[in-house]
Amino acid sequence: MNERPGAWLPRLQEVGERLAEEWISARRPARPDTPQPQELRASDDDRERVAQVLQDAHADGRITLEELEERLGIVYSARTLGDLVDLTADLLPADEQPLRLDGRPVSAFFKQEQRGGRWVVPAELDVTAMFGTTKLDLRDAILQNRRIVINATLVFGGLEIHVPEDLEVIRVTKDKTVRLTKQPTEPGAPVVEVRTTNFAGDVKVKEPPRRKRRR
């Protein structure tokens, strides 16, 4: 039976992603001292994000007034991110959720994969790009630690990181450490350490426009 050209590509992507996740899970030690994403404290902004989704769902008839009032009661009494995430799980797809606690590896095999919005960046994140590109947007993210380690495996692939102000990104290879962010940061600012294992791979950092100094 003849297959149309390119029909094998989705299967190859799926197999590659599964193997990458299994390999990473097997080699990574547990870190019991690190708070889990669902245990992190929720901010007022986090509560408002969830409340807005609920209000929109009520406005277009997906939840009743009673359901809205019940869920809003939970929203405004929530202490942690884990208290909030389930309230919108049945209202939006996973990639459109107002809060994302998914700390799984980010893998791109022959495609582009990205993670952004209000998401928790785990203390250690594995990224794989093989003939593809991974994009991490940290501008609205919550960092689980002041120092984040990204283990990037790049094979003819790329990693692109969008950063907010006052966040430093360094790249660590076997023989050297290079600072990738150009703008100065305050002492004690958060640091993202990218440890790369690559073959013809590239890491790019996108910074916000430099603020003009007042005269």
- If you write DSSP's letter for every residue of 37-82 in order, what string do you get? GGGSBPPHHHHHHHHHHHHHHHHTTSS-HHHHHHHHHHHHH--BHH
Specify whether the CB–CB gap between 206 and 183 falls below 8 A. no
Specify whether the CB–CB gap between 163 and 192 falls below 8 A. yes
Q: 188: alpha, beta or left, given left = phi > 0 and alpha = psi -120 to 50? A: left
- Taking the CA atoms of 21, 23, 25 and 28 in sequence, report the sign of the dihedral they define: negative
Specify whether the CB–CB gap between 129 and 159 falls below 8 A. yes
Quick one: 146 exposed, middle or buried, by C-beta within 10 A (0-12, 13-18, 19+)? exposed
Rounded distance between C-alpha atoms, residue 52 and residue 78, angstroms? 15
pLDDT score of 173? 86
pLDDT score of 30? 45
- What string of pLDDT tens digits covers the 215 residues of the chain? 455 655 555 655 565 555 555 544 444 544 556 678 899 999 999 999 999 999 999 999 999 999 999 999 999 999 999 999 999 999 999 889 999 998 889 999 999 999 999 999 999 999 999 999 999 999 999 999 999 999 999 999 999 999 999 999 999 988 789 999 999 899 999 999 999 987 888 999 999 987 665 55
pLDDT score of 210? 73
